[in-house]
Amino acid sequence: MWRLASNKTQFQAMVFWGLATVLLAIPALVSAQEQSAGERYAKILADSESLARYNEQLTSQLDSQQAQVLLFEQQLAEMDATAAQVPALIKKMFETLETHLATDLPFLDPTQAGPDSRQERMARIRSLMAESVANEDNGASNEDEESGSTADETVPGGDEQLASNADAARTLNADKERALNAERYRRLLEAYQIELEYGRTMVSYKGKLEDGREADFVRVGRVTLLYRTADGEESGYWDAEQKKWVVANEYNKAIEIAVLIATKESAPDLIMVPVPAPQEVPL
């Protein structure tokens, strides 16, 4: 009986200690679960804040890009308006240059390629201004129309094909015309720059007078154009008002010195040469 009672007491003690262990473990388990939930909440909160900042950044970038799109659209509209004015500007530049050359000193420019690169340059510009893209493509357009009409008779949808070909031809012509205008503008601007540079230089070259006599010519900027015959017996200058050469032998020595200075055979010096009175030229 005593042994049975002892075993019962031991069993009760074991149960008691087992329950105590379980009761002690429950708070630790609950604390671990609560801590894990808190960490997850903190992580979710941090991610939410990071996403909010990222959204703000994207919104700012989107607003900036939309502003750039509006600016580009405005610039494109201005470019279209400017492009419409380019042909008139090019024509005005060409007419002004022609007027200027008609009233300018009749000097040559043998300093570059050719006997007179100035006249050659203007000849190229005149030829370029006379070119027409539309005239070059008239024959091709007529052929397209004829082939389109034939296709319209035999193939369904011929009208659509003809319209598509016409649109493609117009687009091609417009692209060619823009390229032609760009080349015209480049050549005219180059000519203006060269003409401007003439006013800063002093050049001498050999040529012939209207009566065929050999002479040394001196261009002093855009101020005056002088000559001295090869035998040294006659000197003079170009009179822009009378449009002819005027003999001025009293400047013979000064013009001789001017030739030497222009050809770098003499050091620069002060010389007295005839200078025609300035004239107002309508543009």
At 31, which helix (H) or strand (E)? helix 2-103
Contact 256, 231 (CB under 8 A): no
Residue 58 clears pLDDT 80, i.e. is over it: yes
Q: pLDDT category, 118, cuts 50, 70, 90?
A: confident
| DSSP-derived pairing of the beta strands 235-239 and 244-247 | antiparallel
C-alpha of 11 from chain center: 101
Name 25's Cβ contacts closer than 8 Å, sequence gap at least 6. none
Helix (H) or strand (E) holding 257: helix 252-262
Q: Tell me which of 83-87, 104-108, 241-245 is least confident.
A: 83-87
Q: Is residue 2 scored above 70 in pLDDT?
A: no
- pLDDT surpasses 50 at 148: no
Give the residue ranges of DSSP H helices in 109-251: 117-130, 133-136, 138-154, 158-198
Do 112 and 119 form a contact (C-beta atoms < 8 A)? Answer: no
How far does CA 169 lie from the centroid of its chain?
Answer: 26
Report the candidate in 191, 201, 230 with the shortest Cα–Cα distance to residue 101: 191
Tell me, yes or no, if the pTM score tops 0.85: no
Contacting residues for 227 by C-beta, under 8 A, at least 6 apart: 209, 215, 216, 217, 218, 235, 236, 237, 238, 245, 255
pLDDT at 4 over 60: no
Q: How far is CA 258 from the centre of its chain?
A: 42
